[in-house]
Amino acid sequence: MRSRHLVVSLIATAVLAGCGKGNDEEPVEDVAADKANNESGASMSDQSMSDQLKAGESAIFEIAPGLNARIMKTGYGRAAVAGDYADTNVWLWLYDEAAEDHHGEFIWESGNDIFQFQLGAGQVIKGWDMGVPGMIEGETRELVIAGDLAYGPSGRGNIPPNATLIFTIELLKLTSSD
C-alpha cells in the first residue's frame, strides 16, 4: 500500500511540475481520446492530465461514461486514492442544458461544515467514488454525474429521479487509512 502511495505521489509531483510550462502543440480537446487509449478505462492518462494543466485550460474530460470532470483549480498536495479519508467543501446543482454553464437549480452546499468521506467505501454516490480518486489536495474539480452514477431512479430529497448533477468539490485534505 505504501508503494502505491509513493507512485501516486510521484505522478502528482510530475503533473504539478509541468503546470507552469506552456504547450501550444497539443489541443486540450484530445483529452477524451487519450482516455480511450488508457488501459484501465477509468481515468485519463497522466500525460494527458499534464498536457491539460500545462495548457492552462479547464477542459472537460471523461472519467467514465456518464462521468465528466473539469479541473477548476489545480492542487498542491498528493493525489487521492481509494481508502483515503477526504475532507471536502461541496456545492451541488441540478444539470440544466439550457442554463448558463449548465448549472440549474442550486440544491446544496457544505457551507462551514467540512464533508468527510472515505474513498471507495460506498459512503457516497458512485460518481464520487469514481471521480474523486486522482484529485490532488487543494484541487477544485467540477463533476458532471449522470443519474445512474448518482441517485438513480429513486432520486433523493430535491433531486428528481435519474437527474444529472453538477458537483463542485474542493479537496481540502487527505488522510491515509494506513
For the segment 100-120, what is each residue's pLDDT rounded down to a tens digit? Answer: 899 999 999 999 999 999 999
User: What are the tens digits of pLDDT across the range 51-94?
Assistant: 444 444 568 999 999 999 999 999 998 999 999 999 999 999 99
What mean pLDDT comes out for the span 144-166?
Answer: 97
In this structure, are strands 165-175 and 140-145 parallel, antiparallel, or unpaired?
antiparallel
Angle of CA points 112, 141, 108, to nearest 5° = 40
Mean pLDDT over the full length of the chain: 77
Q: pLDDT band for 178, please (50, 70, 90 cuts).
A: confident
Predicted local distance difference test score (pLDDT) of residue 57: 54
Better-predicted residue by pLDDT, 52 or 31? 52
pLDDT surpasses 60 at 23: no
Residues 129 and 165: their CA atoms lie apart, in Å, by 15
Report all structural domains of the chain as residue ranges with CATH numbers, in order of start.
2-175 (3.10.50.40)
Query: What angle do helix axes 2-17 and 46-54 make, rounded to 10 degrees?
Result: 30
